[in-house]
Amino acid sequence: MNQNLGRIVSAVMIDENDHDYFVQPDRDGQTYRLPKEESPQVLHIGGSVQGFVYENENHQLQMTCQHIPTIQIDHYDFGKVVSVRRDLGVFVDIGLPNKDIVVSLDDLPTLKILWPQPGDQLLMALQVDDHDRIWGKLADEQIFETMATKVSPKMKNLNVNATVYRLKITGTLVITDRLQLGFIHPSERDQEPRLGQRVHARVIGISSHGSLNLSLKPRAYEAIDDDAKQIYQMLFHAPNKQLPYTDKSSPAMIKEVFGMSKGQFKRAIGHLLRERIVSQAGGQLILLKEVTAHE
C-alpha cells in the first residue's frame, strides 16, 4: 500500500517535460506528476519540493503544492458534498484541483433519502485501502466530543446554526457553528434531517451530559400567520387581554374591526385555538398566553 497518499511529503525532482515536473519521495520510489504552474519555484534535477500527494481523476499519481487540503490522513475538517452516486456514495470537494473524494455508501445511512445532498457538509479525514484508493472517512462521535466546546445555561432559547453528523433512532446529533454538541429529539422535528444537512435550531435546554437540547419547530409566534398575528396583537393590547369578538361575530363587524373577511378571521382564530394561545368563552376572545419572538 502506498503510505504517502493523502499526506504532505517531501520529494526530489528527477525529470520534467513542458508541463510537469516528475518528483519522487524518498521512502516509496513512486513517481508523482507536479504541474509546473503549481510548483513554488523552478526546479532542477535533485531539487527538493514539498506537497500533498494523491491519485487524480485520471488515475495518475500527482503532487500539488498550491491546493493543500486541510482534510488528510488523520486530519479532520469539513468538506462540501458536490454530487451523489447511488451505487457508490457521495463525492466531497476537499480543495483538490482535479479530484473529489468519495464517502462510501457503506458509511452512509441505509435510507438513501437521508444521504447528504450537494451543499451539505461532512466532517472527515482520508483513508487509503489496499488498492491505493483514497476514500473519505467520516468522523466518529469521539472526534466530535474531542473538538466540542462547552455550552452555557444562558443559551436557552437562543437560535443556533448546526450541521447534522449522526442519525440515530433516538434522535439527531448535530454540532453548532461554535462547535457545541446538540441533540434533536424526534418530537422536536417535523421530519428527520439528512446527514450533513445544515439546520437552524432553537435551544430548549441543556442535557445532563452538557450538550444542547434543540428544536427544529418554530416558536408559537413564528408559527402563526399574519392574520393570526394581527388578532394576537390586538388581544395583547386590549384591556384584560380580551376582545368581544369570536368566530360567531358578523362578517360586517369583523371587516370593520379587523379589516379581514369572516373566512380569514375564522382561519386565524382556528390557528390560535390549536396553538392554545387563545380561547373563546361568553362571547369573548381571551388571550391564554403571551408569545413573543423570544419565547
Q: Which residue in this structure is represented by grid cell 444521504?
A: 115
Dihedral over Cα of 48, 53, 56, 58: its sign: positive
* Residue 254 shares a structural domain with residue 279: yes
User: Domain for residue 178, yes or no?
Assistant: yes
User: Domain for residue 70, yes or no?
Assistant: no
**Which among 1, 4, 41 is positioned nearest to 21, based on CA atoms?**
41
pLDDT given for residue 269 in this prediction: 87
CA–CA distance, 126 with 128 (Å, rounded to integer): 7
User: Domain for residue 69, yes or no?
Assistant: no
CATH number at residue 254: 1.10.10.10
Q: Which domain holds residue 276?
A: 221-287
pLDDT given for residue 232 in this prediction: 86
pLDDT given for residue 293 in this prediction: 44
User: Domain for residue 295, yes or no?
Assistant: no
pLDDT given for residue 292 in this prediction: 53
Domain boundary among 167, 188, 215: 215
* Residue 148 shares a structural domain with residue 174: yes
Domain boundary among 139, 169, 193: 139
What are the helix and strand counts (H, E) for the chain? Answer: 5, 18
* Residue 83 shares a structural domain with residue 104: yes
* Residue 135 shares a structural domain with residue 148: no
pLDDT given for residue 279 in this prediction: 92
* Residue 101 shares a structural domain with residue 164: no
User: Domain for residue 2, yes or no?
Assistant: no
* Residue 150 shares a structural domain with residue 210: yes
User: Domain for residue 201, yes or no?
Assistant: yes
CATH number at residue 60: 2.40.50.330
User: Domain for residue 72, yes or no?
Assistant: no
pLDDT tens digit string along 184-227?
Answer: 999 999 899 999 999 999 999 999 888 999 999 876 555 567 88
User: Domain for residue 39, yes or no?
Assistant: yes
* Residue 225 shares a structural domain with residue 281: yes
Strands in 105-256 per DSSP E: 121-128, 134-138, 159-168, 171-176, 181-184, 198-206, 212-215, 242-243
* Residue 107 shares a structural domain with residue 127: yes
* Residue 211 shares a structural domain with residue 236: no
* Residue 135 shares a structural domain with residue 149: no
Counted domains in the chain: 4
CATH number at residue 166: 2.40.50.140
* Residue 181 shares a structural domain with residue 231: no
| Low-confidence residues of the chain: pLDDT under 70 | 27, 219-224, 291-295
pLDDT tens digit string along 95-127?
Answer: 999 999 999 999 999 999 999 999 999 999 999
What's the pTM value of the predicted model, to 2 decimals?
0.75
